[in-house]
Amino acid sequence: MLVLITYDVSTASSGGQKRLRRVSKICQNYGQRVQNSVFECVVDSTQFAILKLKLLGVIDIKQDSLRIYQLGNNYKNKIEHVGVKESIDLEGPLIL
């Protein structure tokens, strides 16, 4: 399933900057950054549960915001992209 994760972490303190880096790193391990604080992650239900627990363990619910959109398995016809940055086929082959 495709999961869209957006976050806004308060960086007013050094603790906030550390949380921001940790949230970003967790998301990078599960998906592709599509904008500054937006990630698309193709995960199964177990990976999704682990990802969510990790993120909830990092953010401060009194200062930060985390939004998770579950777009499901039939997500390709739900996404429209306009603009400069090319869309990446998250399930396509990865060539290095």
- Could you count the other beta carbons within 10 Å of the beta carbon of residue 9? 22
pLDDT of the residue at 13: 85
- How far apart (Å, rounded) are the C-alpha atoms in residues 92 and 95? 9
List alpha helices for the chain, DSSP H: 14-30, 45-58
The C-alpha torsion from 51 through 56 and 59 to 60, rounded to 10°, is 180
Its sign, for the CA torsion 12, 13, 16, 18, is: positive
CA angle, 62 then 2 then 85, to 5°: 90
pLDDT of the chain, 96 residues: tens digit per residue: 999 999 999 998 889 999 999 999 999 999 999 999 999 999 999 999 999 999 999 999 999 999 999 987 777 667 766 777 666 665 666 555
User: pTM of the full predicted structure?
Assistant: 0.79
